[in-house]
Chains A and B, each alone.
Chain A
Amino acid sequence: MTYLRKFLNKALLISSSFVAVTLYANEKTDYNMPVGVTEVSTKIFDLHMLIFWICVVIGIIVFSIMFWSLWKYRKSKGAVAADFDDNFWLEVGWTVAATLVLVYMAVPSTQVMVEAYDDAEGEINILVTGHQWKWHYQYLEDDVGFFSNLSTSQEQIDGDMPKGEFYLREVDEPLVIPINTRVRFLITGNDVIHSWWVPDFAVKQDAVPGFINTAWTNVPEPGIFRGACTELCGIKHAFMPVVVRAVEQEEFDAFIAEKVALVEAERMLTSKVWTKEELMERGESFYATNCSACHQANGKGIPPVFPALEGSQIALNDTDRHIEILMEGVQGSAMAAFGNMYSEVDIASVITYTRQAWSNGENGDGVIVTPKDIVDYKNKIDL
């Protein structure tokens, strides 16, 4: 008897703590689904809350009957068991009731689904490509694009430095889109499957190699929106966030103009005559953003998964293979084919850099590779 009272008290305590945690989480809106900023995301949020409350109501009904029975018909109070074991109409009744509730849920779910699913062309179309482990954005109308890398430092991750406010949610170059414009994303993967998620737009779409998925959004207000990769894609799955900056149309136009100009400038650079120092300087910064995550800043890599570059025979004495690896990648490894992702200047400078850096300059042939060498390589392959 006293034991039972204790039991029921506990049951009460426990169920109220479930409710308390839920309320706390709802109160602190960071712990509920974000309402988001688009029409679709708002509708999805409302749908989520509707289904949630339906579940809560069903839960309250079922659990109160159950706990009340446990309390009322406890043996220690002398309850004697009835011996019915079936009731046809009751079975039919609750089956029908459950079906009706489900239909009630299915109607709005279908409506929202039809609205979210729409692959008509956008006013702006952006090709989003998942790479191990960064996102590439290509503006199809203007034919400009760039990579977006995690900008949180390794020191913060390793705990050698205090973590910043946007720890693991910041990138060197966010995707920029104009507000009040229908933007369509064409999403694909370069190596393994990734998934591109921006909670505030309620857009989550897998980036599957060889296939192009579509998603769209129309953002009504400027702001910075942060998301993540949500399909396990290897070691740095947690380190390739998505950041989208929504801006006014004028700012967007300026952004694109600047990008177009940059591409022009880059083309000019290819024909320029480069000194070793210029290549080294450019190569070092390129290495830091694009290579050091795997091969490490000190060139020692993380063997056996990521080979060391310092002392590697290829980096010391085999220029042709060095160029080839950078251009074509290594099948089945995280080493991607950078040839069609970066400019000739970038590729040449990073090769030059890795042939000079650390002890490689002293121990190897120290050959300098120029953008022209890369252009020559491309021409040779095209033949």
Chain B
Amino acid sequence: MSTIVETHDHGHHGPAKGLTRWLFTTNHKDIGTLYLWFSFIMLFIGGGMAMVIRAELFQPGLQIVQPEFFNQMTTNHGLIMVFGVIMPAFVGLANWMLPMQIGAPDMALPRLNNLSFWLLPMAFGILISTLFMPEGGPNFGWTFYAPLSTTYAPSTVNFFIFSVHIMGVSSILGSINIITTIFNMRAPGMTLMKMPLFVWSWLITAYLLIAVMPVLAGVVTMMLMDINFGTSFFNAAGGGDPVLFQHVFWFFGHPEVYIMILPAFGIVSHIIETFSRKPIFGYSSMVYAMASIAILSFVVWAHHMFTVGMPLAGQLFFMYSTMLIAIPTGVKVFNWVATMFKGSISFETPMLFSIAFVALFTIGGFSGLMLAIVPADFQYHDTYFVVAHFHYVLVPGALFGIIAGAYYWLPKWTGNMYDEFLGKLHFWLTFISVNVTFFPMHFVGLAGMPRRYPDYALQFADFNALISVGAFMFGLTQLLFLFIVIKSIRTGKKAKPEVWEGAGDLGLEWTLSSPPPYHSFTVQPQVK
């Protein structure tokens, strides 16, 4: 499978010149690039907000910002990281890689693809602009619990609602495109159970998105009605129920957290098999595990609400269902380890990030398991222990998956190898700082520090200072990543089509030239 597919140049098929190339593009690679740069920029904006948060929390007392602005920072940091970084980065990777992995020339619905991307800058333009309005931006947490986000919200909440609607439309359109592409454009011979795991992970993710983004749209619409049209969905004084908000939000929210991790599962599986030089262990159990995680993710939502006052039977049900999710999650970890076992392992940067992913994501899974135990969750809930948990699954989890994927496929995209020395440096600095930042949060939380606090009691001071130092180091280190990416776009050792030793047999993307032709596969390859 090492033949290079020739490029047919029909003249009008190359990229357009100048800005219009990016504005009007319907090309999956160009759109993928747009998504990836968009999420990279948002990473620095959201990261900047995190730096403000950590600067304020470096010492007890109020020094840098007032609580009102602090709340805007935590809220927007969360919203931007979830909807503006992790999700668009995954969609960017999907755009680049899905057609190449299934042997297609492009995505099935290219114009829709353009629209899904260009909705995003609008959504985030609106969201971020609220920070500059007199009343300030959203300040009610990324989970925007009513009535703090309705009756008691600044009037800019309407912009926030509009922005969430646009993000939702973008995600739904993107998912329709991905599902259509996967079902209709696979190369002959590529049956479902022969699809690369990244394709599988995105197929499942796209279904999750289509199922839950409308729920999110519903809940913000109910807010909109409560705020502007006198309804009382979440207003107790009018006969409504503030807790209903949480049920609806988390019915979206829990599948959402899996939307943010499943594609990373796919990426990491490819990387581990590549650098272990051994096919992934238990391919079909990997697929079933992802599918069962996705299904279970619809019946665990209330584990975010154990202190809200549910009946005993409800508490127990959600405890058991949440514990159940640990089984398929564990199976995935075991499979990755079994893939490394008796392999022939080398440690390029993508592999380093993937190994760290397996180890640190597992730590996040452990804390998740602890949080699932209802009585114990009474003590953990809404403290830094939860903050530690979800940052372990989202930073060394989802984000490491994205970074690993970027290193893994960069040479394919740009045709140049990235600087391996700098890549490893980036890895080690990131690995150390991520743990200095998030590991101590477990203990600060157990010791009793609630989350979303701009100021705290003196006994938390030493660990908080340490956390802030780690956070600044982590933030700075990502500038190095930016440098490495730019450098590999401009120069670098030329990459071969298969890029990684032996990868030629692992997937169709490695049979294309590096960089690949503008229309990936103009002739469908045959998969045996």
Q: Which residues of A contact B (CB under 8 A)?
A: 3-4, 7, 10, 14, 18, 21, 25, 30-34, 40, 43-44, 47-48, 51-52, 55, 58-59, 62-63, 65-66, 69-70, 73-76, 79-87, 90-91, 94-95, 98-99, 102, 105-106, 109-110, 112-114, 116-117, 132, 156-159, 163, 165-169, 191-193, 195, 197, 199, 202-206, 208-211, 213-214, 227-239, 302, 304-305, 331-334
Contact = CB atoms under 8 A, between A and B. Distances in A.
A21 B242 CA distance: 40
Given A210-B237, A236-B67, A44 B343 contact: no
- Tell me which of B308, B355, B380 has the highest count of chain A C-beta atoms within 10 A of its own C-beta: B308
Interface residues of B, number: 100
A307 B278 CA distance: 67
Contacts of A199: 379, 448
A74 B373 contact: no
Contact of B435 (A18, A73, A81, A117): A18
A62 B333 contact: yes
Interface in B381-406: 381-383
A210 B61 contact: no
Nearest to A25: B443
B326 interface: yes
A74 B346 contact: yes
Contacts of B341: 65, 69, 73
B344 A75 contact: yes
Closest 3 CB pairs of A and B: A210-B236, A213-B309, A238-B453
Contacts of B24: none
A230 B506 CA distance: 49
Given A18-B435, A165-B458, A191-B152, A62 B362 contact: yes
A86 to B, nearest CB: 6
B62 A157 contact: yes
A154 B480 CA distance: 41
A51 B322 CA distance: 15
B440 interface: yes
B61 A158 contact: yes
Main secondary structure of the interface of B (DSSP, over half): helix
A44 B372 CA distance: 13
Interface string B448-459: 101111111111
Contact of B148 (A63, A70, A85, A233): A233
B185 interface: no
A206 B376 contact: no
A206 B309 contact: yes
Given A31-B443, A193-B148, A232-B148, A70 B345 contact: yes
Contacts of A82: 278, 342-343
Contacts of B376: 33, 44, 47-48, 51, 109
A91 B319 contact: no
A195 B447 contact: no
Given A75-B346, A95-B327, A167 B458 contact: yes
Contacts of A237: 67, 71, 452-453
Contact of A117 (B285, B312, B382): B312
Contacts of B463: 31
B241 A238 contact: no
Given A44-B378, A51-B376, A102-B327, A33 B446 contact: yes
A238 B452 CA distance: 8
